[in-house]
Amino acid sequence: MTSDLSHSLDSFFKWIYSLISLVVIGFLFLLLSDPSSAEPSVPLAQDKSKETLLLVWAHPFGQHVKISDCWETFAISGCKVTDNRSLYSQADAVLIHHQYVASRIGYLPLEPRPPGQKWIWLNTESPTNAKRLWKYEGIYNLTVSYREDSDVFLPYGYLIPVTQLDKLPQGRFAFTFKGRTSPSDLLRPRFVAWGVSHWDESLARIAYYKLLKDHIQIDLFGKVGKKIPKGRQSLLKVINQYQFYLAFENSQHTDYITEKLWNAVESGAIPVVLGPSRENYERFLPSEAFIHVDDFPTAQDLAQYLLTAKDNPSLIEKHLRWRKNYKICRPWWGRDYYCMACLAAKRNKGKIDVVKNLNEWFYS
């Protein structure tokens, strides 16, 4: 599954970790926008002689988004992104969102596939919710997902040290945290919140919530709790009032760390996480930036810690002191996903690699 890009990413990852003692997920963009960082598939002059055209087969989740100019956004030359299906025969690559083609209304391109055209698999859901992967074996050439070993690695969010902002092309899209970056902003009026839209009694997060709520008050929001207006900003305003936020994933898989965590981080609530291992989370955040349910032998022990910490400024500060040194980035479809996929296609011109064992890899 690992391309030349991911080999370069691995080397850079080791370097940046030793430099700042934290994975800076934004290194992906630094590599992709720097021609010297990854060996192109064909000589660079030849690669630049023809513009690479990426066709977005369907915008993710049926929501049309504005397509960014990759040169203006990331200084990526020779990349053009379109959603005009009439250009299918001219496209160098087609970006295909898995949830679309796996749905009842979605379908793959029906016209014959032009020679050399790359199909790029895009997915942001967990393996549990990525249905019928087995149907698409052997048709893709590149992968785009939150998995670190994807050809294009795009997590739901990542941190950039303030000292690195001017050195990373995506630094201008980073934004400051909403509060809790100074000692005077440590305590908040409300205790623990959880926003949940999908309630399924068979999920581990529901079972853990039931254990936890026996010992502390948890304010629920969403379909099974207090209703709030739609949209991320409405949820962020709610989270901004709380000391802690339950960032419980709907399934537990490698690198599957979603907006649930990053909403808490952005809003200044200390995330209490249930998902992959603590070690997995620590590739994205400082170790003290979150509380993992596995840190405690029982839900009652976790509840006792939260009760102790909520009115203890020193404990709260321990979980928040890192914030003054970072800004946050959250990838956006029309900007990050499309431009990075186009650049990956450009860098892999001349290669005929096929993604093998898609289902087995993604479930690993």
Q: Same domain for 246 and 337? A: no
pLDDT digits over 43-66, tens only?
333 344 589 999 999 999 989 999
| 239, 264 contact by CB (below 8 A) | yes
- Residue 112: exposed, middle, or buried by beta-carbon count in 10 A (0-12, 13-18, 19+)? exposed
Q: What is the residue range of 308's domain?
A: 183-328
Q: Same domain for 219 and 290? A: yes
Q: Same domain for 296 and 196? A: yes
Q: What is the pLDDT of residue 27?
A: 39
Q: Same domain for 270 and 349? A: no
Q: Same domain for 40 and 67? A: yes
Q: Same domain for 322 and 338? A: no
Number of domains in the chain: 2
Asked if residue 160 is part of any domain, the answer here is no
| Number of separate helices (H) and strands (E) present in the chain | 13, 13
Q: What is the pTM of this model?
A: 0.86
Residues of the chain with pLDDT under 50: 2-48
Q: Which of 269, 270, 243, 266 is nearest to 189 (CA)?
A: 243
Asked if residue 178 is part of any domain, the answer here is no
Asked if residue 215 is part of any domain, the answer here is yes
Q: What is the pLDDT of residue 169?
A: 87
| Separation CA 317–CA 90 (nearest Å) | 55
Q: What is the pLDDT of residue 183?
A: 62
Positive or negative torsion for Cα 334, 335, 340, 346? positive
| Separation CA 45–CA 193 (nearest Å) | 54
Rg (CA), the chain: 21
Q: Same domain for 195 and 287? A: yes
- Which structure tokens are listed for 343? 């650049």
pLDDT digits over 246-305, tens only?
999 999 999 999 999 999 999 999 999 999 999 999 999 999 999 999 999 999 999 999
Q: Same domain for 126 and 227? A: no
Asked if residue 118 is part of any domain, the answer here is yes
Q: Same domain for 324 and 335? A: no
Give Cα separations from 297 to 204, 214, 274, 305 (angstroms).
Answer: 16, 16, 14, 12
Q: What is the pLDDT of residue 2?
A: 44
Asked if residue 272 is part of any domain, the answer here is yes
- Which structure tokens are listed for 17? 């970790």
The answer to whether 125 is a known catalytic residue is yes
| 295, 27 contact by CB (below 8 A) | no
Q: Which of 39, 72, 125, 201 is catalytic?
A: 125
Q: What is the pLDDT of residue 19?
A: 36
- Which structure tokens are listed for 128? 């549990």
Q: Same domain for 113 and 72? A: yes
Asked if residue 172 is part of any domain, the answer here is no
Asked if residue 171 is part of any domain, the answer here is no
Q: Same domain for 135 and 230? A: no
Asked if residue 253 is part of any domain, the answer here is yes
Q: What is the pLDDT of residue 49?
A: 54
Q: Same domain for 9 and 124? A: yes
| Separation CA 194–CA 205 (nearest Å) | 11
Q: What is the pLDDT of residue 23?
A: 37
| Separation CA 149–CA 275 (nearest Å) | 18
Q: What is the pLDDT of residue 184?
A: 61
* CATH number reported for the structural domain that contains residue 322 in this entry: 3.40.50.11660
- Beta strand residue intervals within the chain, DSSP E: 52-56, 79-82, 93-97, 118-122, 142-145, 152-153, 158-161, 190-196, 219-222, 242-248, 270-274, 291-292, 326-329
